[in-house]
Structure 1
Amino acid sequence: MPREDDDDETYYNFEITPVMSTYLIAFIVSDFTVLRNEPENFGVWARKGAIEQAEYSRDVGPKLLHAIEGFLDVKYPLPKLDVVAVPDFSSGAMENWGLTTYRERIVLYDEDHATAATKQQIATVVAHEFAHQWFGDLVSPEWWNYLWLNEGFATYFESFATDLVETEWRLQEQFVVRDLQSALAADALLTTHPITQPVDSPNSIRAIFDTISYEKAGSVIRMMEHFVTTEVFKKGLKRYLVARDHLDANENHLYEAINAELLETKPGSHENVADILHTWTQQAGYPLVTITSEDSGLTITQERFLLTRASTRNEGSTLWSVPLTYAVQDGDFTDTSTKEWLTESSLKIGRPTEEDKWFIFNVQQIGFYRVNYDEHNWNLLTNYLKSEDYEKIPPVNRAQILDDALNLARAGILEYSTALELTQYLEEEVDYIPWYSALNAFSFLNLRLAGTSTHPLFKEYILKLIQHVYEDLTYEESDADDHVTKLLRSSILQWACNLDHEDCVEKAKGKFHALHEGSSIKPNLQSVTYCTALRHGGEEEWNLLWDKYVKSNFATEQSLILGVLGCTAHQELINE
């Protein structure tokens, strides 16, 4: 950007931009300062008083960019890329081409004032916006009907690109419980909509920036990757991006590119990507796949899953092309290749294992569907999970079994006694992935039972389940803790203290009391400690945190404190 000076005037001459969609043009006038990663022509801009918090984004940004470039085998097309931390930014983040913008708390990080969850959010949101440099910026959607071609791929890459950089975070597994399972919950409501949704007004466009266009689309993209294979998926994306370079696109452009690669890799393949994906993108909802054992084998059926007892669940008019995967007891859970296609309402196959051994459909929860079994297989799974061998079922499939069972019970399809008996194995569970699914499902029950005579029994049951993992983690954080352990501790302590676990509450109050005397609390323990102290405290505790909020120069810390101030039982403090 050459500059010309003429006495008291300065002229800035900008290079001509590439062809781009109008919504992607941005410029910023500020007195911000920058941290540069010079070899990469990459910089992070922020307020002068906050620029030191930009180091993590400055370091991880180029790595994420190169991870996406390497996956796609398509170079980032611009000569530079800037990241800008904007105070009071109305959006969370925006993918302006070459000039991405973020709220401060989503891009600035200081390890003494931010949690492990915040660090993860920063990396994944930066990856999300960087993925848009290809999906949305280089190739823009033909119309907002195809918003998911932007947001679905950005959601996919926010986990899978970051996983290539932050390799210890288990983000491929986290994607299942955070993104896919949250999309299953949203898409089970009657108010859902197809991924490809016709829109014709500003309000209807804004309305589809939701879980369906982001998390469901990302989950369907992941499912497609596995049924065509990762090699075909990568080559197909490259073909798509090269063919539509600086052009717009619709979903069929994507399918044609991937199908072409599929036919080159598997000549004579009967799979047609467009025919398969249209059943997932052009109709709302998803299937419940039910497996029933019979003397001659297994009968597999599909029907739409809804979190309602309404008769619409059994209309039978909605069918999907479902890629079926399964594993058997002592079998291979790494093989996610499609074993059978369920394209009609029912299918019969041979039993994959002996009658006294269980089977699990939807290996690694690759498919965007729920699974129900007959009573015999549920009992086999429950007994196995309650045995010493439960870890032979991978964490993602343990999480899937929990999420499916508890949501089937919520929908009135499975008896709650069956689902809750299965959760008894959690007394020995110490892995974050299954606990994430379990606690998410328990949140619904906690809300529904609050204020009823049953709630004390529910609290007692959950406290019994978490006692072992609570003792395993303790209230103290260790320097040896890995990233995922920190996430698990935060979740378990939050539940323990909220349910009035005696040791948890006393330790939280003790740590907060030490804060009065000048001690510090590690960021990953702050939320549960602050919230518990406020619930059991009064004006003095509330004022201490409010003062800390006002004086803080860290957006991540301010956001955390603001989130817990409502924990107080004294309404008048919030009203002041």
Structure 2
Amino acid sequence: MMKILIILCFSAITLAKLIPYGEETEITSLRLMERLPNNIIPDWYNITLEPNFTLSIFTGSVSVKVKILNETKEIVLHAYKLEDIAKEDINITCNSVNKTIAEVSTNNKTQFLTIKLNEVITANETCVLDFRHFQGNLSDQFRVGLYLGKYNEEGSEKLLATTQFQKIHARKVFPCFDEPHLKARFLVNLIRNKNHTSISNEELENSVPLDSERVLDVYRETKRMSTYLLAFIVTEYASTEVKQGQRVFGDRPAIKNGEANFALEMGIEILSALEEYTEHRYAFNKIDQIGIPDKYFQAGAMENWGLVTYRKSLIIYPYDYQVTKGLQKTVAIISHEYSHQWFGNLVTCSWWRHTWLNEGFASYFEYFLSAMVGWDIADIFVTDSVHSALSQDSRNTTMAMNDEDATNIIVYQKASSIIRMMNHIVTEDVFRKSLVLYLNANQYKSTSPVELYQAFDTIIKQQNKTTLLGKHTILEIMKSWDSQAGYPILNVEKTNNKITVQQNRFFTDGSKDDTKWIIPLTYVLENSTHNFSTTTANEWMANTTVVLDHQSDGWVIFNKQQMGLYRVKYNEENWNLLVNQLNQKDHTQIHVLNRAQLIDDAFTFAQINQMNYSQVLELSKYLVKEEDYIPITTFLKHIAVIDSKLAQENGRKNYKIFMNSLFSGSVSNTVTMKEQPEDTLKTKYLRIDLINWLCKLGNQECTNYALGVFQNNSTISPDLQTPIYCGAMRIGNQKDWDSLFEKFKNETNDLSRSRIIDALGCSENSETLSKYITTILDKNSTINVLPAFRSIVNAGDFGVEFLFNYTYTNFTDIKALPDVSTIIINIASKLNTRNHENLLRDLSENYIELKPVFENALKMVRTNIAWNDKYGADLKDWFSQYKSGI
């Protein structure tokens, strides 16, 4: 280890001439951002920082060792929003010789700090840049750079200083070469109050008292890494005991009560699983997790190497009060951030246009690592990621994965779906070996997708598996997916002995273009020897049209296990054969993920007039036999659109009969309302959905069960508290509601209180809800208005009409609420008649100051009315016919 150079920094303001800073200009587009010259490479940084909570500033110094690649008379690096960087406080030595500085300037547009020299630095010289003093604001307003956070601990407000550097915010804390490919080693030294604790990426090496109040913490040198992965925190937090090199930090009461233990145990399991899968030991000797107060962490979670930060609520909570989905979310997010320790930290994208190399793999392993450690959510990846990517990547404004400004849905959900497609194309064995090679060949380096694809091609050739790719290389295939926006739809026309497949880019807005992809075609023919478990490509499609021969009179279904990121639309004959298979024959002959695919595609086509809702609902009738969570949750996601828009006059009563009949079938026998010890994860999720929906639909068996459990004071698990409480309130009397409200007042756990709030609005008694709103609006009330109002709107038809009428009649009181705009929009999203429109217009005319809000609300109502005008009559007829056929 290189000897540590410690330059102590204090809060005194340097009197030398300061560099002027002009108007602040944040960079909003990475595509347009000017890059640093490529003539200097940093080797290591020695940083000393001191946050001052009293003055709300931080002061610092840094030495940067660099190698000069090409002859130059200026050094350009990043610095932004840093004060007191004076020429007199900068020293540059090259090969132990001091260089004289002619001029120092900053550019707020490029965020460059330029140091011009009086003499030339020759190529291959090694230089040390010393910045002896700089200063920045320690504010709680901006949640990037080094900033202030606050939290309450046993009635006392506490402060912490924490960091968030991704993607371009390290430059706001110290002068640096702030681009991901410019990796370096870091020596971190933090000055803190003696009553505080500091944490950084590496292990603490030494603590040195500076005076009676301050301590200098010296940290070990890190591995070579990007600036955005550097992190440090100064806090009064406590931590769990160190276990296998891991700790979790949080506020003292939470740590004392064991609220971080689940995150600690899962972190240990997940890290071990990653080491085994990648065949690569974790690079550092320790990894810490820390819960930042939610309000002060916009990012949600950050993979800083060795110091992973999260919103506190994601990893620290009383285990016994948390719902299963909350626990699963913790496992998933730890899996995501720990995956980054390899994919993103060890091997890093060379520039932000390749962010998907980091986030795509982390999002992929988020699900499949969770499954490795006992949380079986691998299939849920399809509904969460594949379907989300298909939904969001279908507009003409979307961007390619390799675009610097690609949205999160592209670099997370779409990229992870493409990575899953790669896995299916090459098989799990080849996929895993390729990733092992990719990591080993590029550790501590930065990469583009080319290096990833080269690793795959190498393993494919070594394993003699080139036939898996047809006549293509993985680079050729993947370029069509990572460098083009959108995705294809396959139009499948099946005749007696031919299957004609045509690809087009899929749009939901009517746009057209001639984009083509190299598509892995997988398909199953009814009564053929093909099966759904082998997902390598049957054929490769690079042209607009391909014709396949077949000898089957039955149906064909494409995209086995929905392994490819594309939609499929069939001719009417084949579609009817698939619907018949599901409704009249053994529906399990079609893979569960393909059943979900058929539902998702069909509803999507109906929403853009490429299929009639009657066709979709005929397909959905098979759900009376369905017992698996994946197709049912896919259906519920889409039927929620109809549920939120369908007007009473368009057969809403018969719609509820249809829904009740679906969920009174096989699934109600398989998934009992009462929890069972043998419940799988998907069974637990399905039970929650069924109770929520059946009780909302007025199913008497559901509401009677819920009320009975509630009135008997039976123990209710966190998973079922909201569904059971809500179902009970729907038919309960005032005494029942008062009993639940009393439970809310006596409850001390925030998670339980939130679940009760979600249920109190489910009453279908006007007097009860009026009393509730009066209580909410009382000036001494501790109830959060927005969640309480939202619970009434989300409870169903009764709540929507009640709250709208109450708001209309008492708008003077509602107008005074801070969340009035959100309340109006939430209600309007459920309104669907011209009477609603007229009443809203009245409010708009009487309260001009809220005109923009009412304009948005009226637009939503008119959209719902137009939807009913377009689809209502057909839906009414179909639901009526369905009722007649029961």
Q: TM-score normalized by structure 2?
A: 0.59
The answer to whether residue 673 in structure 2 is matched with residue 475 in structure 1 is yes
Is contact 2:757-2:791 (8 Å) kept?
no
Shift in Å at residue 165 of structure 1?
1.1
* Shift, 1:44, TM fit: 1.8
- Provide closer, same or farther for how the CA distance between residues 448 and 286 of structure 1 changes in structure 2, counting only shifts above 3 A: farther
Find the counterpart in structure 1 of residue 147 from structure 2: none
The AA in structure 1 aligned to 2:339 is A
2:396 aligned residue: 190
In structure 2, relative to structure 1, the CA distance for the partners of 1:128 and 1:392 (3 Å cut) is same
User: Comparing both structures, which one devotes a greater share of its residues to strand?
Assistant: 2
1:337 is the counterpart of 2:536: yes
CA distance in 1, matches of 2:756, 2:357: 36
* Residue 153 of structure 1: aligned partner: 361
| Alignment match of 1:124 (pick from 332, 337, 341) | 332
Q: Does the 8 Å contact 2:500/2:546 carry over to 1? A: yes
Q: 2:352 is matched by which residue type in structure 1?
A: W
In the alignment, the residues of structure 2 paired with residue 440 and residue 558 of structure 1 have an alpha-carbon distance, to the nearest angstrom, of 26
User: TM-score, normalised to structure 1's length?
Assistant: 0.89
Distance 1:417 1:4, change over 3 A: closer
Tell me the distance in 2 between the aligned counterparts of 1:383 and 1:138.
51
Match of 2:685 among 478, 487, 491: 487
1:83 correspondence with 2:289: yes
Q: Which residue of 2 aligns with 1:23?
A: 228
* Aligned equivalent of 1:174: 380
Match of 1:370? 567
What runs of 5+ residues in structure 2 fail to find an aligned partner?
A: 1-203, 760-787, 793-798, 808-812, 819-886
- Indicate how the Cα distance of structure 1 residues 428 and 548 shifts in structure 2: closer, same or farther if over 3 A, else same: farther
> In 2, are the aligned partners of 1:25 and 1:96 still within 8 Å (CA)?
yes
Larger displacement relative to structure 2 (146-155 or 520-529): 520-529
Of residues 362-371 and 472-481 in structure 1, the stretch that sits farther from structure 2 once superposed is 472-481
Q: Following TM superposition, by how much is the alpha carbon of 1:509 offset from its aligned partner in structure 2, in angstroms?
A: 4.1
Shift of 1:401: 1.7
Other-structure match for 2:419? 221
Instruction: Please point out which of 425, 431, 446 is paired with 2:628.
Output: 431
1:14 lines up with 2:222 in the alignment: no
Q: Counterpart of 1:382 in structure 2: which amino acid?
A: V
| Matching residue within 240, 247, 251 for 1:47 | 251
1:276 paired residue among 461, 477, 484: 477
CA change 1:486–1:443 in 2 (3 A) is same
- 1:159 Cα deviation (Å)? 0.6
SS in 1 for 2:399: coil
How many Å apart are 1:83 and its aligned residue?
1.3
**Percent of residue pairs bearing the same amino acid type:** 34
**Cα separation, 2, equivalents of 1:26 and 1:547:** 40
**2:744–2:753 CA contact under 8 A, matched in 1:** no
**Offset at 1:122?**
0.8
Whole-angstrom distance in 2 between the partners of 1:323 and 1:297:
19
**CA displacement at 1:559 relative to structure 2:** 5.6
| Residue 791 (structure 2) pairs with residue 567 (structure 1) | yes
Q: 1:558 to 1:303 in 2, by over 3 A?
A: farther
Change (3 A) 1:196 1:513: farther
Pairing 1:385–2:385 present: no
Residue equivalent to 1:527 = 722
Considering Cα pairs closer than 8 Å and 6+ residues apart, tell me whether 1 or 2 has the greater RCO.
Answer: 1
Gaps of 5+ in 1: 200-207
Deviations 1:77-127 (A, max 9, x none): 111111112222423211111111112221135443111111111101100
Q: Deviation at 1:323?
A: 0.2
Distance 2:498 2:584 in 1: 27
CA contact (8 A) 2:453 2:475 kept: yes
Q: Which amino acid aligns with 1:194?
A: A
Shift of 1:152: 0.7
Partner of 2:442: 244
Alpha-carbon deviations, 1:120-166, whole Å to 9, x = none? Answer: 11101100000111112112222221111111111100011111111
1:223–1:368: 8 Å Cα contact kept in structure 2? yes
Cα distance change, pair 511–86 in 1 and its aligned pair in 2 (3 A)? farther
In 2, Cα distance between the equivalents of 1:557 and 1:3?
43
Deviations 1:437-478 (A, max 9, x none): 111121222223255523333222112111122354333222
Q: 2:504 aligns with which of 280, 297, 303?
A: 303
Deviation at 1:510, TM superposition (A): 4.4
CA 1:563 to 1:215, structure 2 compared with 1: closer, same or farther past 3 Å?
farther
Contact 2:336–2:363 under 8 Å retained in 1: yes
Q: Secondary structure at the match of 2:663?
A: helix
Per-residue CA shift, 1:268-303, capped at 9, x if unaligned? 663212221121111211111122123441111111
2-structure distance, mates of 1:478, 1:56: 23
Give, in whole Å, the separation in 1 of the partners of 2:668 and 2:545: 44
| Residue type at the aligned position of 1:463 | N
Which residue does 2:351 correspond to in 1? 143
Q: Please name the residue that 2:523 is paired with.
A: 326
Q: CA deviation at 1:25?
A: 1.3
Q: Helix, strand or coil for the counterpart of 1:148?
A: helix
1:548 CA displacement: 5.8
Higher helix share: 1
Tell me if the contact between 1:306 and 1:411 (Cα under 8 Å) persists in the aligned partners.
Answer: no
Contact 1:44 1:57 in 2 (8 A): yes
AA aligned to 1:94 is M
Deviation per CA, 1:280-329: give whole Å up to 9, x if none. 11121111112212344111111112223x2x24x4x1111110111233
Please give the root-mean-square deviation of Cα atoms over the aligned residues, in Å: 2.6
Output the CA distance in 2 between the equivalents of 1:142 and 1:5. 38
The answer to whether 1:288 aligns with 2:489 is yes
